[in-house]
Amino acid sequence: MTDDLRRALADLADAAGTGAGWDPRAVDARVSRLVQRVRRRRAAVTATASATALGTVGVLAVVAAALSGHLGTTAPADPPPATGPTPSQPTTTEPTAGPPRAPAGPAAALFACGRPAPESIHTLPDQGHLTVAPDLTTGTWDASAPPDLAVTVGATGGYRVTAEVGNGWLALVDDSGVVVGFVVPDDRSAAPLALEPDGTQELTTTTTAAPCDADEPLTGTYVAWPFVEATEVVAELAGSSDEQPAVAVVANPQQVTFAG
């Protein structure tokens, strides 16, 4: 064989490159899969970096406490600055330090950065005889200062429900069906609610918009899944009770638009 090796290699590469899956639909699917995988990996890298940073802060706090003579005593550390509870919503859970990018409670199984969102509200699990209805501000939102988020939590099916319920979140899903960010409640404390049958309670909080990928700011229109997380849920009806340690209560998705 006296063919020039360069031409032979180019011919082989060309043949291999045209061999599989390059029609437009296949390329769309290929790109979509790659985008999801990259998003997951970038989100994981971001989460690892955040965890490392928090770990560093924790170590520094311990060192600082030791240097100031507090280590091993019962003296409490200074509380982190946080939005206090409203009089009607006494706090029973300490606020989480720092703004998380994603929920850490029962909703984490439904909404996680880089993961596909539920296909519809009907595919979601039981919500502990609770409902949530958001009251979203209309118009275009500013990602650097999103509007307050008000949600109304209610008891359904004639049940009387008690639970520890947190403020509302929004999981933001892009046009490829993947979670790309959250609107995070600034006050992540949980309030004890006691809801009579068909009773409701409104919860309102200021919020922060948190993209999963810091390099990909939130701009444009997203499908927003409103949800709250509830723990110690006890639903009573006609002398019987249904208890669940933790549930995510999700509302029908709506569209929200962030300014570019």
Partner 1 sequence: MQGWRSTLDRLVRERGRALVGYAYLLTGDTREAEDLFQDALLRVFSRGRPVDEIDSVEAYVRRTMLTTAVDGFRRRRRWAAVRHLVAVPETAPEPGPDHVTGARLAVRDALATLSPRERACVVLRHYDDLPLADIATTLDLSVGAVKRYLSDAHRRLRDQLGPLDLEPASPESTTVHLRRNR
Which residues of this protein are in contact with partner 1, per CB under 8 A?
1-6, 8-22, 27, 30-31, 34-35, 37-38, 41-42, 45, 215-216, 219
Rounded-to-integer distance, Cα 32 and Cα 26, Å: 10
Cβ neighbours of residue 145 closer than 8 Å, sequence gap 6 or more = none
Judged by beta carbon, residue 21 or residue 239, the one nearer partner 1 is 21
Angular region, 11: left φ>0, alpha ψ -120 to 50, beta rest: alpha
Length of the chain measured in residues? 260
Residue 1 or 238 having the CB closest to partner 1? 1
CB nearer to partner 1: pick between 38 and 51 = 38
For residues 43 and 180, what is the distance between their CA atoms, to the nearest angstrom?
A: 9
Cα 225 to Cα 243: distance, rounded to the nearest angstrom: 25
Of the pair 9, 59, the CB lying nearest partner 1 is at 9
Considering the complex, state which of residue 219 and residue 254 has its C-beta at the smaller distance from partner 1.
219
Round to whole Å and give the CA distance between 249 and 165: 10
Q: How far is the CB of 137 from partner 1 (least distance, A)?
A: 24
Least distance to partner 1 from the beta carbon of 178, Å? 11
CB of 29 to partner 1, least distance (A): 11
Distance of CA 125 to the CA centre of its chain: 17
- The least distance separating partner 1 from the CB of residue 174, rounded to whole angstroms, comes to 9
Phi, psi (degrees; rounded to nearest 5) at 177: 85, 15
Nearer to partner 1 by C-beta: 2 or 120?
2
Residue 50 DSSP SS3 = helix
Residue of 111, 120, 135, 123 lying closest to 229 (CA atoms): 111
CB of 52 to partner 1, least distance (A): 15
Minimum Å gap between C-beta 41 and partner 1 is 4
